[in-house]
Structure formats: C-alpha cells, structure tokens
Amino acid sequence: MKETIILIGGGGHCKSCIDVIEQEDRFAIAGIVDLPGKKGQTVLRYPIIGSDTDLREIVQTYHNVLITLGQIKSPKPRIDLFHNLVQMGACFPVIKSPYAYVSSHAQIDEGTIVMHHAVINAGATVGKNCIINTKALIEHDVVIEDHCHISTGAIVNGGVKVGSGSFFGSGAVSKEYVSIPAQSFIKANSLKRKNDE
C-alpha cells in the first residue's frame, strides 16, 4: 500500500506536480490544501480538503506534504509555508519524475520536486523546497540553495552557485562558475555571464 501525500496549493503548478507524482507512482494523493472558498472543489479529480487554517490537523493525519505553490515573483510564500510546516512536524519527500535524469552522484534535499525531462548531473546539490522544472538542466558541481525555482528549459552550467530563494527564468542560461546572489530574479531567455551583472 502506497503512502499518502498532501499537496499545498491548488493552482497551475499543482497540476504539473500531480502528473509527476502519478507517474512516479510512489505516493497516493490524499488531497489538496488551497484557499478557504475552494474547499470541496477538485484539481484533476483530487479533492481540496482544507485551507491554511486546517494545516495542523491535516499534517497530523497525513505526514507527507509537498508545497505546490508556484514561485515567480517572490519565494516568500513558499519559504514561510515550509517553515510553518516544519514546526508542525511535516515530512517532505523528494519527488522525482521517472522521466528525469538524476545522477547517483547528485544530492537533492527534502521537499524538492524534479519535473519531467529535467537533468541533474554528477556533483550537483539541490537544496530544500526547490522546483527543478520541466527540461531544466543542472550541470556538474552546481549548487542550488534552498527555496529556488529553476524554470522550464533553463540551463545552469557547471560549477554555478544559485543563492537561496532565487528564480531562474525559463530558457535562461548561466555561464560556468558564476555565483548568483540569494533572492535573485533571472529573467526568461537571459544570459548570466558574470558575477556582477
């Protein structure tokens, strides 16, 4: 019998996460937590079972959680939610699409999801509560700190460090061994050439 998991956030990113969880086939989705007015509605047939005010009770019943809020403008909602859930005793499994490649020499921390066709190569480390989105490439020896979103089709080349809470836009590319400060916003389709840009 599969363990259950609860998803926190019922928007578009949640739908993509549902698909990855279904394909991985390791957890059964017990429900979704979203805004109070949406209780009783469904997301891809899964019920919205409560809102943030119900979280403590929900976590006591279903220990495994995945934060499925998106992250574009600010990482703060995902960060605050993560810390609140830690205080409640939640467990944060790593979710990996069977269509992604994650090197056996890479490390991924709790609460991170690796979406379809992403690649994480040898020596890379990815922190807590990150989104490694569809077709993102994380090259060798990259460090992705906690609470980052590496967007669809992004390329983070070898030895790059991405500071905590950063957003790395769709199709953006970073040259090798660049250091990206915490809370950075890297625009879609941009090229990050050096440390001081």
For residue 157, what pLDDT is reported? 98
Q: What is the CATH number that goes with domain 3-87?
A: 3.40.50.20
Q: CATH topology for 94-190?
A: UDP N-Acetylglucosamine Acyltransferase; domain 1 (2.160.10)
Residues of each domain in the chain carrying CATH 2.160.10.10: 94-190
pLDDT one-digit tens code per residue, 162-179: 999 999 999 999 999 999
Length reported for the chain = 197
As a whole number of angstroms, the distance between CA 126 and CA 162 comes to: 10
For residue 196, what pLDDT is reported? 55
The percentage of the chain sitting over the pLDDT mark of 70, rounded to a whole number, equals: 99
What is the mean predicted confidence (pLDDT) over 54-67? 95
Q: Is-contact 20 95, C-beta < 8 A?
A: yes
Residue type, 58: I
pLDDT one-digit tens code per residue, 95-152: 999 999 999 999 999 999 999 999 999 999 999 999 999 999 999 999 999 999 999 9
**For residue 5, is pLDDT > 80?**
yes
Average pLDDT along the chain? 95
Question: Residue 82's closest CA among 9, 157, 1?
Answer: 9
**For residue 197, is pLDDT > 70?**
no
**For residue 195, is pLDDT > 90?**
no
Distances (CA, A) of 126 to 22, 39, 72, 119: 22, 33, 18, 12
Residues of each domain in the chain carrying CATH 3.40.50.20: 3-87
For residue 33, what pLDDT is reported? 97
As a whole number of angstroms, the distance between CA 105 and CA 15 comes to: 30
**Which secondary-structure segment (H or E) carries 14?**
helix 12-24
